[in-house]
Structure 1
Amino acid sequence: MTLTRHKPNHRMSQAVRAGDMVYLAGQIPDQRDAGIEEQTAETLAKIDALLDELGGSKSDLVSVQIWLHHMDDFAGMNTAWDAWVDPQNPPARATGGAALASAPSGVRIEIISVAYLPAD
């Protein structure tokens, strides 16, 4: 099995391919003062961009973990999620509350995902 790191830096990689599985690092929004729907949409767009760079799409997602700073944001997050997710290929998903202590102030969401992208 081949292991490839995508966009590594001194601390982490944005994605790691292990064979046909791709593990994306937790993605957070840049807009710190935006509402949860906007932060969710921006974070999902980052996932789209990473998957596109790796030759995949949201339809290839296998598993997603969503971490919310405030569980009161659950409904707003779901509004953005429902507008984005491929209803024919929804991934397994878990959502939980977390302090997001290592994220910059104002970040309300972090999304971690795994995709199946068969090597060519």
Structure 2
Amino acid sequence: MATITRLQKSRRMSQIVQHGSTIHLAGQIADDCAQAIDGQSQEVFCKIDTLLAQIGLTKSAIVFAEIWLSDLADFAGFNSAWEAWVDPESPPGRATCQVGLARAGARIEILVTASAES
């Protein structure tokens, strides 16, 4: 049976959950929600990079990303930021949709599933 490891836990959730070789990151949003989509995207990418680094991984380990935008008008701007950040040799599967986000001013939230196997 695979072990489940939870890191950066609070009463509500864990920022990182590893089950065997599969890693799930909690949804990441920008702290500074006054920024435009490119700034919020960069902040979220930085958070993802930091969380993955804590378990010895990089963005090339991402197998799937769920991208939630509060407004699909930000889709092109997000894609530009994403393409500058994503590992071009290891692009993950991805889905993007428009949703109402819980934090006022948040334009984007990203959930990541990664693999500790190469």
TM-score (normalised: structure 1): 0.95
Match of 1:10 in 2: 11
Secondary structure in 2 matching 1:32: coil
- Is residue 112 of structure 2 the alignment partner of residue 113 of structure 1? yes
Match of 2:61 in 1: 60
- Percent identity between the two aligned chains: 47
Give the partner amino acid of 1:106. G
**In the comparison of the two structures, how many residue pairs are matched?**
116
Match of 2:82 in 1: 81
Match of 1:93 in 2: 94
Match of 1:48 in 2: 49
Moved over 4 A (4+): none
- Whole-Å Cα distance in 2 between the matches of residues 57 and 45 of structure 1? 11
- Whole-Å Cα distance in 2 between the matches of residues 17 and 90 of structure 1? 21
- Whole-Å Cα distance in 2 between the matches of residues 85 and 95 of structure 1? 15
Match of 1:33 in 2: 34
Structure 1, residues 39-95: CA drift from partner, whole Å, max 9, x if none?
A: 011101100000000110000000000000000000000111010000000000000
Secondary structure in 2 matching 1:45: helix
Secondary structure in 1 matching 2:90: coil
State the 1:32 CA deviation: 1.1
Structure 1, residues 9-43: CA drift from partner, whole Å, max 9, x if none?
A: 00000010000000000000011110001101110
TM-score (normalised: structure 2): 0.96
